[in-house]
Structure formats: structure tokens, C-alpha cells
Amino acid sequence: MDTTVIADQKSKDEFENYKKQSKWKDYHWQLKHSIKDINTFEKLTGIKFKNREKDLLEKVTAKFPLSITPYYLSLIDVENYQYDPIFLQSFPRGEEMTKTSCDMADPLDEDKDSPVPNITHRYPDRVLFLVSNTCSMYCRHCTRKRRVGDVDSIPTREEIKVGLEYIKNNSQIRDVLLSGGDPLMLSDDYLDWILSELKKIPHVEVIRIGTRVPAVLPFRITRELVDMLKKHHPIWLNTHFNHPREITKDSREALRKLADAGIPLGNQSVLLARVNDCPRIMKRLVHKLVQNRVRPYYLYQCDLSEGLSHFRTPVGKGMEIIESLIGHTSGFAVPHYVIDAPGGGGKIPIMPNYVISWSTHKVILRNYEGVITTYREPDHYKTIFCDNDCESCNLQLNLNGDSDEYKAIGIEKLLSDYDKTISLVPDENDRMERREE
């Protein structure tokens, strides 16, 4: 970027005074003082943009709004801001206006897979429930960028009830993911109400919360909040740290409170060019996460949402990172690297190949060091042909009266013995159409 830093002592002093305020750790104060325009950003950081550049930035924020908490802003290294991962994730760039041929408004078809407003039902046994349309910080790499700043609103109880009703009426849903926006932008009472309503539904076994609050507004994790959350166990929480610099004393404190409340913590990172596209940075990040009782869960390949092209890396970069982690560090510190399939196919795990070859009685594998090894298959394995009659099977699956017929789908169906399907054929296959004629 073509900018010049002018050390503007007066405004930076103003920011230093901010930080000394007794209210700094009050999350209401943080939200009220969120930075939402370029001028305030310049004033508080002492960074000055040239007029031409500022015009472009204003255009970008008119399309994709800006919002940064004072806390997150305070983590920016003003002297080296152009390469700063905090700056890059929170501050707009002209490139966001670039529309490339692969960009899509809703690449994951979340809107198409939505049976009722605010619900995305993509997988058989779990749903995404968007309970908030607002965030404390607007990530520049947001996959739901199309919606950012639409209306910073919280769905009404009536609107939430429509989603609850859908979950109630679909007994296969055992896992509900609260997302948004950020669900922790709701008041404790409102969230308490949603969680209580979900807990009343007998088939809902677990509830998950997806939130970036521990990274961008750690003061939101209050004693009162965690005391409320732990009433509704099992609650799982996934947060979103992308760079080790985001793990500060304040965010560690937030994570400690959540973990002490017995909430299993996971982390979903996005692979972002110039932010964390480096094996050493990612290794540092996952190590810091597990030290704070957070298990790295997913590493996402950057989605094809509009305005994100400058953040995308080749898939090979993710492979390289995963290659540098598997075997080299603790197994529980390695996230699943996934591509969320454009068109709504869901998350697809990808990883380097470890199986090199195969015969009827040997599997040839390689490990992280490049050692090639042989696993000898058993000489005597009595093949079990499964007829899907679990009631009369000798294996001890305790059905507890729940004898719903088990139906395999997809590749699992091809592997099963009881389903006679031998191939899955795409629609509009010419060869199949000729057969029908």
C-alpha cells in the first residue's frame, strides 16, 4: 500500500488515554467505542492515508463496512502496519472491490440450503442456526461478507421461534450450531432463553457456539456469561484465532474462564495470504492454542466469497502446513484442513497422501519423516457381511429400544453389503440417458 506513517503524537496520546480508562475492560464500552470510519482510525493510530487511497477506502467501506473494537485496534503494530496480521484482518483494502471470475456472493449455498429463515440444514444430524446478524469486529475475510453490516440486528423472539420450531419438528437434528454474526453479541438473558428452549427439545444432544469474541472482544467473556452457559451443558464452543499475535493476556483470560466452566474449546482458523500462510506461524498458533486448552479444529481454505480474492492461497499452501504438523507435533494440535465445497457440498477434508501402495496382504505407507513402511494385513479375517439387522447381530451395539433403520448414504452406501447400489451416477449422464431411450 502506498501510504506514509506520520507519527501524530496528539492522537496516539488520546488512544493511550483510552487504554488507561477504567472502562477499557467493559465490553459495552468497547462496543460503544468501536472504530467505524477511516478518519477515526487515522486519528487513533497516527497512520495517515493519502487522499487518493482514502477515497478508495471510503468506497470499500461503503460496500463492506468497517468495525474494529478498540481492544483489537490496540494490537496493531502501527510502525509495521502494512504487514500486521491484526491490521490485515480488520482494516479494508482496495482489493476488496476486485471481482474475479470465481467469486460468488453465497459460495456455500447457505441461503439455498435454508428450509426456514436463519437455519441452514446441510448435514443429516445437525444444523447451523444464525441467531445474530452482528459482530463486534468485522473480519475482512468474512465468508458471509455479503451480509456484513446489512442491518446490525438481532432476530426477534418470533423469528428465533421459527428456527426452534424447525429443529423441534426434525428429530434427526442432534447438534445445533449457533452462529451468525456472533451469538455472543446477544445479551446473556436472550442467549439464556435460546439455550433453554433448545434444551427442552429431547433430540438435541449438544449445542455449539461459534464466536470470535475471545479474539476480538475478550472482555465479553464475563463471570456472569460463563455461569449462564454452564447451566446448559453440554455446550461446546468454537472460536476463531488466525495468528499467534491474537493470543494475548486478555484473550487467555477469556479462554481460561470458558475452559474452567467445563466448555470444550475448539478453534477454526482460515488460511489467509500474508496473515498466516506460513508453517512456522501456524505451528506457533496451534501450540499457543493447546496451551490455553483450545483444540485446533479446522483450518479452512479461504472461501470463494466476493471480495476475498486477495486473501486466497493455493491449496498447496494448506497441504504444506498440514505436512509440517502431522507427526511433527502433538496429534491433538493438528486441525483438519478443509475446503467448504462451493455449491453447498459441505466441508471436505484434504491432507497429504500417506498410503503409497497396496496389495492383497500389504499396505505400504510413508510417515512424516519420509520413512516408507509396510503394514501386513491379517491372514485370517472372517469377513462379516452386514445385513443391517442390528437386533440379531452378535456385536454389542446397545440399541436401547432405538431400532430406527440405519440407512447409509453416499460412499458409505457403496461400501455397505445390504444396499445393492454399485455406483453413484451424476444426473445428465449421456450414457445412462442412451440406455433409457
Instruction: Give catalytic residue positions.
Output: 122-123, 126, 135, 139, 142, 144, 303, 340, 347
Residue whose CB is less far from ligand PLP, 173 or 228: 173
Three-class SS of residue 223? Answer: helix
> Least separation, in Å, of the C-beta of 414 and ligand PLP?
22
CB 197 within 8 A of CB 159: no
Residue whose CB is less far from ligand PLP, 29 or 236: 236
Identified binder of ligand PLP from the candidate list 73, 177, 334, 339, rule CB under 6 A: 177
Q: Candidates 75-83, 117-125, 272-280, 311-319 — which segment interacts with ligand PLP by CB under 6 A? A: 117-125
> Strand 294-300 and strand 119-123: pairing?
unpaired
C-alpha cell at position 393: 447381530
Residue whose CB is less far from ligand PLP, 130 or 228: 130
Establish if 126 lies at the interface with ligand PLP (CB under 6 A).
yes
> Least separation, in Å, of the C-beta of 128 and ligand PLP?
4
Residue whose CB is less far from ligand PLP, 128 or 285: 128
> Strand 126-130 and strand 119-123: pairing?
antiparallel
CB 225 within 8 A of CB 231: no
The Cα-based distances of 52 to 2, 38, 49 in angstroms read 10, 13, 8
In sequence order, the β-bridge partners of residue 120 are: 128
Q: How far apart are CA 392 and CA 370, in angstroms?
A: 46
> Least separation, in Å, of the C-beta of 15 and ligand PLP?
37
Residue by residue, DSSP assigns 353-379 as --EEEE-SSEEEEE-TTS-EEEEEPPS
Angle among Cα 182, 185, 191 to the nearest 5 degrees reads: 100
> Least separation, in Å, of the C-beta of 170 and ligand PLP?
13
Establish if 120 lies at the interface with ligand PLP (CB under 6 A).
yes
Q: Which of 313, 415, 364, 407 is nearest to 125 (CA)?
A: 407
Establish if 168 lies at the interface with ligand PLP (CB under 6 A).
no
Residue whose CB is less far from ligand PLP, 112 or 200: 112
Q: How far apart are CA 78 and CA 55, in angstroms?
A: 21
> Least separation, in Å, of the C-beta of 347 and ligand PLP?
5
Establish if 122 lies at the interface with ligand PLP (CB under 6 A).
yes
Identified binder of ligand PLP from the candidate list 347, 350, 365, 386, rule CB under 6 A: 347
Identified binder of ligand PLP from the candidate list 123, 190, 236, 368, rule CB under 6 A: 123
What is the rounded radius of gyration, in angstroms, for the C-alpha atoms of the chain?
A: 25
Residue whose CB is less far from ligand PLP, 155 or 218: 155
Q: Candidates 52-60, 121-129, 359-367, 375-383 — which segment interacts with ligand PLP by CB under 6 A? A: 121-129
Establish if 128 lies at the interface with ligand PLP (CB under 6 A).
yes
> Least separation, in Å, of the C-beta of 366 and ligand PLP?
27
CB 41 within 8 A of CB 91: yes
Q: Candidates 59-67, 123-131, 323-331, 397-405 — which segment interacts with ligand PLP by CB under 6 A? A: 123-131
Angle among Cα 194, 199, 203 to the nearest 5 degrees reads: 125
Q: Which of 209, 72, 64 is nearest to 148 (CA)?
A: 64
Applying CB under 6 A, the residues found at the interface with ligand PLP are 120, 122-123, 126, 128, 177, 347
